[in-house]
Every structure is written in structure tokens, then in C-alpha cells.
A and B are shown apart, each in its own frame.
Chain A
Amino acid sequence: MLKLDKLSKTYATGDTALRQVTFEVTAGQVVGLIGPSGAGKSTLIRCINRLVEPSEGTITLGDTNLARLKGRALRRARRRIGMIFQEYALVERLTVMENVLSGRLGYVPAWRSFLRRYSPEDVSQAFSLLEKVGLSDYFNKRADALSGGQRQRVGIARALEQNPELLLVDEPTASLDPKTSRQIMRLIGSACRERNLPAIINIHDVMLAQQFTDRIIGLRAGEVVFDGSPRALTDQVLTRIFGDEDWTRMRGEEPDSEQTRTPTVDLAEGV
């Protein structure tokens, strides 16, 4: 179970991306996070696995407060959280198998991962996940040889290879065609149901969100303005989340596109 309590994030530039966000996600629940660009959706899910540092508040996964972890403890927490990205974020020049196995990096020592000597259990799990996402013949292909939909399937397999307790999904369908988008959403949904896995899915396509999630949270300017069932998303609620006047107001400030200047390898996390 995931619990956010009064989570806030203010960037160094002074932009407030999240204001006192509080909600809980129970096991097996698939939550759709909707809102206009710049509302803080990406920041919110990146705060949970600490790719972005939250400014205030607590994030509790199981018994751990993720907001205060450092170094080894943080890496141990991250390996419990799978993440799926908008642009797939596969390592383009590695093979599909290496990409899926990279989901085990938090569990294996560096020399083993360097020599690509993963345990037979890890490898057989990777094979069965590739079969599940329909890519069993592709394990030796390089990631950059795959199509968008196939890459996102590898992304899903990589996240599930972690045996996560929580799935964070950042705009999984933004770069895909409508049909592939539905297949990908269905795949994520079925994986969550099968494993009783809670998930937070960032998505700007309201139709897809309504169709494939159990619960919708609406975010606007960093605040939760709606939290309820997908059926309760009326036109009035949508106006409250997206608002007509936002078109002009949002253009100037998009905290989501803000690049935080954190070093790629954070030595505080330990080597």
C-alpha cells in the first residue's frame, strides 16, 4: 500500500509543482493521474521513487518512508518500485534481454551485472515475461531495432522483472498510435490484476484513463482537485481539472519541462 501525506515540491527556480498532495493507493488499485501539462503529474510520480527530491511531506510504501531515504536504503526502496516511461527509456544499444534483466540491477552485485551473469531464476523470469508481452523471439535483438509498441512492451517487462510492489507509469501511450495504446494499457492492467499490484498511471488521454483505470485523480497546478471513480468524471469535473483559461496561463510556466540539474550518477547514493 502506498500513502502520500502532504507531499509538496518546489523547484529551485521557485516554481511550485506540488502542493500538499495527500492520497492512498491500496493493493491492486490502478489509479489514473490526469491533468493539463505542467500540472505536476510527472513530478508526482518521480517524487515517489525519488528521481525528483520532494520538498516536504511523507511517502510511505509498506512500512518505509521513502521521502527521507539515502544511499543504499534508497536503492533498496527503488528496486521495489517499477517504472514505465513515456519514451520507453530503454537502453537503445543493449539487447532486449539485457534491458529486461536490468530490472534486476538493484538485486545483483555490480560485478555480476557487469559480466551479465544473472542467476538462472532471473533469466527464466525474463524469458517468461518476454513471452507474456509477446516478444519471446526478440530477446537477442537490439532495443533500437524495435518499433514503439514493442519497445514499450520491453519497458513493461523490465519493470515487472523487478517483482515490484508498486508500478509507476509515466504517459505510457503518449508516443503510440491509438490501437497500440489500448493494447499497452490492457497489458499494464492485466499485469496489475494478476499480481495484485497497485499502479499510478500518468495519462493525459481522458478516454483511455476512464476505460482502463479503477480510480481517477485529477491534478491541477500541483493540487488534487478530483479523486473518485472514472464514472464520476463529468464535464463539470473536467472543466475543474483542465479549465478553459488554462490554455493561456499554462503556456508560460511548465514546471514539468524543467530540467533539474542533478548529477547523473549521484555519489550520495553510493557507487
Chain B
Amino acid sequence: MTRNSSTPVWHYRTRTQTLIHWLGWFSLVALTVFCWQLMNENTIWAFVSDAPDQAADIGGRMFPPAWGYIDELWAPLWDTINIATLGTLMGVAIAIPVAFLAATNTTPSTRFVRPVALLVIVASRSINSLIWALLLVAIIGPGLLAGVFAIGLRSIGFVAKLLYEAIEEIDTTQVEAIRATGASGAQVIDYAIVPQILPAFWGISVFRWDINIRESTILGLVGAGGLGIQLSASLATLAWNQVAMIFVVILATVVIAEWVSAKVRQAVI
């Protein structure tokens, strides 16, 4: 606040703050311009300029989709759904204990156990399902099992992170009340914590299943089973109308998965 002939004047920011803000925005713009230059050094503009023609060409070859190809897609589709579902179950089963060990209000030791649980979560989350699948195909060989493990390992971190955040946000007075009755630790979890996190738990699990359906459609690209195997075969032979058919199947599956997960979430909350 400065005084200007006895009427107080209020400024949102001081002069220095204004300057710092202005400098901040200026350097952001400068950085953007610089990055744009750097990024497009190797761009061949001739290719970019005929991109619309290329897109129209491929689009033309995709249409109409090879509707008859669906007969060969049922089995991989079933595999895809199985990979997503079993992977989610595996991930959730491991994520539950990890979440309880990671939440500050339930962990047995903030100094030793919690960091380990957080490390598990970060390790699982930082690696994409596709990379997990690449690794696992190399370790346990190509096929459904590698896909299930890839989806499962990726899901642990996602589910555990959201679940431990839900555990940390519970109402502590309910926990106090149950502790005051002389309940043991297991009973406190059963009566005071689980009822509070159950809606979050179902919401998270179904959401993850929904994401996993989408992710498992591409795992076949690296040999982990499911629709992706068909997709990579069709891409390799430039059979664009088959690729289009696979896209249609993926789209339909994802729409159905989303509808199911929305219904389940409505039911539990």
C-alpha cells in the first residue's frame, strides 16, 4: 500500500513483483520461439506440405473397412478383454496391501516401509504398459501371459497411488470412535477405514480396467497377444481396410468398456 495525498492506494502487486511476472512471461515466449526453431531444423517441409494428400490417400484406402475381416478378430478380441481383466485383477490384488503400506496414516513405519511402498508405486507407474510388455515378452516369451503381467504391473502403481490418497483422506473421527471401543488394528481397518474407501476403491478399479482395455489392444504390437498382433500384421501388409476394421472393433470395445465402468461407478457411490 502506498499513500497518495492521504488517499490510500492499493496495488495487487508491488513494482518488483510486476517486473518479475513480466520477465517470467517474456522468457516463456522466448523459450517457445527458440524450441520451435530447434524442433523444425530437420523438418522437410516438402513432406509436410503434401501431408493432406497423403492422409486423404490412406483414408481412401481404409474406406470401406473390410467388414468380413471381423471373423478373424473375435478370438484376439476375447484375448484382449481377458488380458485387461486378469491384468487388472492382478494389479488390484497387489495394489491393496501396497496402498495400506504407503498411506501415512496406516503404514507401520514412515521411515522404512513407506519409502519402499512408494518406490514400488513409482517404479510401476513410470514404465508404460508397452515397455513392460516388451520386457516381459523377452523374459517369459510372447503370448497372453506376458500381456497379463504387463497390464498387471502397470496397474499396481496407478491403483495403489489413488487408493493410498483415498486412505489418507478418510475422516479420522470415525477411526477414533472405533479405536475407542477397544478394537484391534485389523478391526479398525475393517470397520472404520474400509467402509470409507470402498466407493473410491471400486471407482479406481473399474476406471483402471477401462484404461487397460484400451492399452491391451496395442500390446500385441510387441507380441504380447490380443488385437495388436492383427493390427501389426495388417499394417505390415499395408492392408488399410483391415486396419480400419480393427479400429472400428477397438472403438466399439472401448465405448462398451466406458459404459460398463460408468454404470459400475454409479452403482457404488
A226 to chain B, nearest CB (A): 27
Q: Residue on A with the closest CB to B198?
A: A93
Contact with B along A106-123 (1 / 0, CB 8 A): 110010011000000000
Contact with B along A65-102 (1 / 0, CB 8 A): 00000000001111111010101011111100010001
Given contacts A78-B182, A158-B181, A271-B185, are A110 and B174 in contact (CB under 8 A)? no
Q: Residue on B with the closest CB to A114?
A: B190
Q: Are B107 and A263 in contact (CB under 8 A)?
A: yes
Whether B7 is near chain A, meaning CB under 8 Å from some CB there, is no
Instruction: Report chain A residues within 8 Å CB of B130.
Output: none
Give the distance in Å from the alpha carbon of A263 to the alpha carbon of B181 in the complex. 17
Whether B106 is near chain A, meaning CB under 8 Å from some CB there, is yes
Q: Are B183 and A102 in contact (CB under 8 A)?
A: yes
Residue among B170, B176, B187, B199 making CB contact with A89, cutoff 8 Å: B176
Q: Residue on B with the closest CB to A71?
A: B184
Give the distance in Å from the alpha carbon of A42 to the alpha carbon of B172 in the complex. 15
Q: Are B187 and A83 in contact (CB under 8 A)?
A: no
A53 to chain B, nearest CB (A): 13
Q: Are B174 and A90 in contact (CB under 8 A)?
A: yes
Instruction: Report chain A residues within 8 Å CB of B188.
Output: 264-265
Q: Are B186 and A102 in contact (CB under 8 A)?
A: no
User: Which residues 82-127 in B have Cβ within 8 Å of A in the complex?
Assistant: 104-108
Q: Are A267 and B108 in contact (CB under 8 A)?
A: yes
Give the distance in Å from the alpha carbon of A81 to the alpha carbon of B177 in the complex. 11
Give me the 5 closest cross-chain CB pairs, A-B, nearest first: A106-B182, A79-B182, A271-B185, A89-B177, A105-B183
Interface residues of chain B, those whose CB is within 8 Å of chain A, are 104-108, 170-193, 195-196, 198-199
A-B contact pairs, 22 of them (CB 8 A): A79-B182, A85-B176, A89-B176, A91-B177, A91-B195, A93-B196, A94-B191, A105-B187, A106-B182, A110-B184, A110-B186, A113-B190, A155-B177, A162-B182, A168-B180, A264-B170, A265-B188, A265-B193, A269-B184, A269-B185, A270-B184, A271-B185
